[in-house]
């Protein structure tokens, strides 16, 4: 099976970059594409797994092709179409296109060409080859649920923490984190972030051994604080971009300064 994780240098030197698209622009395209898959998926009542699988296909696709060759919104549709079938929640291609049309400006929908459905069909074959038919994708969601079961502490606080971590995983889809780290690592980092922001400190957990310094040592080996902070930083940066930070701050009842401190990690 192919290896789908890249270091930061690879993520800067992408096919889009080599065709003259600056990294910032590419990241914006990635974010817009991912957000569009999330919006289209939720409008069609597709589950979080299907949506996340579609987004991962999308990010992987653009490690091999440029945004100049393949406009982002139709690729996004194609990724969601394939993810629907793979995750056993199939949606008709024409229905996805219909929802896409309702969400996009006329100019953006124009990139779908004269026959959008045919475009998606052709694109699907290219997508399948590009992702090497590596269809099954794991996401951090399942790991969040697995981890929280082992943590000890106030039930309500744990619940609040895992809910917050869950929304962070959603936000992480708009970043290239799924091209950098395994879902287990992302789950640990975002649970860590949620713990910090909800002021819940995990002091004990089931299955604790003397060699464990932190709860996550039980699940993933060799996670450094530096790595956790880097992942949190990427998600928080995304939150700022999405202007949702204010909402987060008010919702979780931590001071803005606390958040800023985290952002400034």
Partner 1 sequence: MQGVSAPREPTQQVISTTSTILNMREKEKYIEDFDFPFCDESSKYEKVAKIGQGTFGEVFKARARNSSKKFVAMKKVLMDNEKEGFPITALREIKILQLLKHENVVNLIEICRTKATLHNKYRSTFYLVFDFCEHDLAGLLSNVNVKFSLGEIKKVMQQLLNGLYYIHSNKILHRDMKAANVLITKNGILKLADFGLARAFSVAKSGQANKYTNRVVTLWYRPPELLLGDRNYGPPVDMWGAGCIMAEMWTRSPIMQGPTEQQQLILISQLCGSCTPDVWPGVENLDLYNKMELPKGQKRKVKERLKPYVKDPYGCDLLDKLLQLDPAKRYDADTALNHDFFWTDPMPCDLANMLAQHTQSMFEYLAPPRRPGHLRHHHHVAGAQAKPTQPVQDSGYQDRVF
Residues that bind partner 1 (CB under 8 A): 1-3, 6-7, 10, 12-15, 17-18, 20-22, 25, 63-65, 68-69, 71, 81-82, 85-86, 88, 90, 92-93, 107-108, 110-111, 113, 120-122, 124-126, 128-136
Minimum CB–partner distance for residue 84 and partner 1 (Å)? 9
Distance (Å, whole) CA 185 – CA 220: 7
Minimum CB–partner distance for residue 2 and partner 1 (Å)? 5
Minimum CB–partner distance for residue 79 and partner 1 (Å)? 12
What would the two tokens of residue 214 be? 């932190």
Minimum CB–partner distance for residue 21 and partner 1 (Å)? 5
Distance (Å, whole) CA 224 – CA 228: 7
Q: Which is nearer to partner 1, 55 or 123 (CB)?
A: 123
Q: Which is nearer to partner 1, 25 or 206 (CB)?
A: 25
Q: Taking the mean position of all CA atoms in its chain, how far away is CA 64? A: 19
Q: Taking the mean position of all CA atoms in its chain, how far away is CA 92? A: 24
Work out the number of other CB atoms within 10 angstroms of the CB of residue 213.
7
Q: Contact at 8 Å (CB) between 124 and 85?
A: no
Minimum CB–partner distance for residue 47 and partner 1 (Å)? 15
What would the two tokens of residue 67 be? 């945004």
Distance (Å, whole) CA 33 – CA 77: 9
Minimum CB–partner distance for residue 96 and partner 1 (Å)? 11
Q: Which is nearer to partner 1, 10 or 204 (CB)?
A: 10
For the chain, state the CA radius of gyration.
19
Closest CA to 94 of 79, 110, 115: 115
With 0-12 / 13-18 / 19 or more C-beta atoms within 10 angstroms meaning exposed / middle / buried, residue 257 is exposed
Q: Which is nearer to partner 1, 92 or 146 (CB)?
A: 92
Q: Which is nearer to partner 1, 136 or 257 (CB)?
A: 136
Q: Which is nearer to partner 1, 2 or 255 (CB)?
A: 2
């Amino acid at each position: 099976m192919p290896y789908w994780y890249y270091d930061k240098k690879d993520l800067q030197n992408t096919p889009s970059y080599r065709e003259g698209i600056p990294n910032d622009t590419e990241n914006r395209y990635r974010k817009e594409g991912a957000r569009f898959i999330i919006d289209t998926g939720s409008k069609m009542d597709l589950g979080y797994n299907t949506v996340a699988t579609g987004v991962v296909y999308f990010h992987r696709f653009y490690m091999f092709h440029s945004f100049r060759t393949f406009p982002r919104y139709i690729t996004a549709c194609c990724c969601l179409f394939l993810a629907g079938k793979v995750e056993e929640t199939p949606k008709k291609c024409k229905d996805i296109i219909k929802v896409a049309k309702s969400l996009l400006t006329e100019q953006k929908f124009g990139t779908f060409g004269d026959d959008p459905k045919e475009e998606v069909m052709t694109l699907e074959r290219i997508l399948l080859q590009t992702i090497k038919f590596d269809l099954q994708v794991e996401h951090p969601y399942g790991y969040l649920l697995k981890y929280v079961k082992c943590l000890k502490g106030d039930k309500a606080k744990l619940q609040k923490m895992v809910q917050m971590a869950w929304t962070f995983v959603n936000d992480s889809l708009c970043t290239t984190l799924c091209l950098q780290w395994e879902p287990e690592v992302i789950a640990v980092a975002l649970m860590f972030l949620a713990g910090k922001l909800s002021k819940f400190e995990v002091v004990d957990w089931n299955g604790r051994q003397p060699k464990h310094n932190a709860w996550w040592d039980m699940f993933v080996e060799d996670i450094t604080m530096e790595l956790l902070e880097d992942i949190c930083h990427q998600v928080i940066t995304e939150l700022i971009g999405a202007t949702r930070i204010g909402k987060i701050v008010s919702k979780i009842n931590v001071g803005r300064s606390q958040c800023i401190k985290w952002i400034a990690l």
